């Protein structure tokens, strides 16, 4: 089920690569604020990506390369509504439609 994104916070990691190449993290929050509804981790281009999954709080956790960060931030700023979900195929989606297409 897709959940609407209302707000986000971004953390960018500087300096030498740490924590398996993690370079940035986005925390996504619902439209009503307060509760986190998902996270997106960004890694160096050479780092193999982990599989997307749902955490203990039933929130999608997505993994992308750092080259996608600006595109994701553009989506968050310009597209309303925007939704996050994990599909039945365990693939993360950040989408402008609430309905799963595939």
Let me know if residue 43 belongs to a domain.
yes
Decide if 84 is inside a domain.
yes
Domain total for the chain? 1
Q: Is residue 16 classed exposed, middle or buried when 0-12, 13-18 and 19+ CB atoms within 10 A define those classes?
A: exposed
For the chain, the distance separating the N- and C-terminal CA atoms, rounded to the nearest angstrom, is 13
Taking a C-beta distance cutoff of 8 angstroms, is the pair 64, 51 a contact? no
pLDDT of amino acid 14 = 84
Omega cis (within 30) before 61 = no
100, part of any domain: no
> Phi/psi at 37 (nearest 5 deg)?
-115, -5
**pLDDT in the model for residue 101:** 60
> Does a structural domain hold residue 45?
yes
Q: What is the pLDDT of residue 100?
A: 63
Residues 79 and 63: their CA atoms lie apart, in Å, by 20
pLDDT tens string, the chain, 102 residues long: the values are: 789 999 999 999 887 765 568 899 999 999 877 789 999 999 998 899 999 999 999 999 999 999 999 999 999 999 989 999 998 888 999 999 887 665
Q: Tell me if the pTM is above 0.75.
A: yes
Question: Residue 34 — left, alpha, or beta (φ > 0 → left; ψ -120 to 50 → alpha)?
Answer: left
Question: Cα 17 vs. chain centroid, distance in angstroms?
Answer: 20
pLDDT given for residue 17 in this prediction: 62
Tell me if 44 is assigned to some domain: yes
Q: Which domain holds residue 65?
A: 3-95
pLDDT at 59: 95
57: in domain: yes
Q: Which residue has the tokens 């956790």?
A: 61
């Amino acid at each position: 089920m897709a959940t609407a994104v209302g707000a986000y916070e971004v953390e960018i990691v500087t300096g030498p690569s740490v924590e398996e190449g993690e370079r940035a993290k986005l925390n996504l929050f619902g439209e009503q604020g307060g509760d986190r509804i998902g996270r997106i981790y960004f890694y160096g281009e050479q780092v193999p990506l982990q599989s997307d999954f749902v955490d203990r709080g039933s929130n999608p956790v997505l993994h992308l390369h750092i080259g996608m960060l600006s595109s994701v931030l553009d989506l968050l700023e310009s597209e309303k509504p925007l939704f996050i979900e994990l599909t039945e195929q365990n693939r993360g989606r950040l989408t402008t439609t609430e309905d799963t297409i595939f």
